[in-house]
């Protein structure tokens, strides 16, 4: 079994319901959810002229390898109505693999650990809530340390 940490997020429609629907689909097709962070409201990163996001990190156990899991997550996004019209633009749902075991891996489908994890407070904050002592397999620092060092100044608010 593999342990993966997934970031779910979205900023269109009923954001909480979309997170719940994604969580349900991940449980059905991707693996068993072991932990979930609180939901956080965050300003949009990159293209800022859009609604705030809701984000949540899920820790799952899965039999799938990294490429198989990413393909499942992309399919969940697709059936949830995700459209890829604009890079970093508004979206119903986005699901990323942040970490998987202690894997350092790159393919045409996925890069693990997520290449921008250490730069994004909206990903580090919910991850720190459930896995603060987890070591980043490339940077060799805990998630707690990465969050302290993170230069991203966008606000992140716990909403649940």
Cα end-to-end span (Å), the chain = 30
95-126 pLDDT, tens digit each:
999 999 999 999 999 999 999 999 999 999 99
pLDDT band, very low/low/confident/very high, at 86 (cuts 50, 70, 90): low
pTM of the model: 0.94
Beta bridge partners, 62, equal 2
Q: Residue 47 has what pLDDT?
A: 65
Residue 95 is predicted with a pLDDT of 95
Kindly give the pairing relationship between strand 156-158 and strand 40-42: antiparallel
What's the whole-number average pLDDT of the chain? Answer: 92
Element of type H or E holding 6: strand 2-10
Task: Give the residue-averaged pLDDT of 56-69.
Answer: 98
Domains by residue range for the chain, with CATH: 2-158 (3.30.70.560)
pLDDT for position 81: 66
pLDDT at 85 > cutoff 70: no
More confident residue, 27 or 44: 27
Pair of tokens at residue 83: 């459209």
The SS3 call for residue 142 is strand
Q: Report the percent of the chain where pLDDT is more than 90.
A: 82
Residue 101 burial (CB count, 10 A): 13
């Amino acid at each position: 079994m593999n342990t993966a940490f997934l970031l779910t997020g979205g900023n269109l429609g009923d954001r909480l319901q979309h997170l719940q629907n994604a969580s349900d689909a991940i449980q059905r097709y991707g693996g068993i959810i072991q932990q979930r962070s609180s939901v956080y409201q965050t300003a949009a990163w990159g293209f800022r002229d859009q609604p705030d996001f809701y984000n949540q990190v899920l820790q799952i156990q899965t039999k799938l390898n990294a490429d198989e899991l990413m393909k499942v997550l992309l399919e969940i996004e697709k059936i949830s109505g995700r459209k890829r019209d604009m890079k970093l633009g508004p979206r119903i749902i986005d699901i990323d693999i942040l970490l998987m075991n202690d894997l350092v891996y790159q393919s045409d489908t996925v890069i693990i650990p997520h290449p921008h994890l250490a730069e994004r407070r909206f990903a580090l904050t919910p991850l720190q809530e459930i896995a603060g002592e987890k070591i980043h397999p490339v940077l060799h620092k805990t998630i707690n340390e990465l969050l302290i060092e993170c230069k991203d100044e966008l606000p992140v608010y716990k909403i649940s």
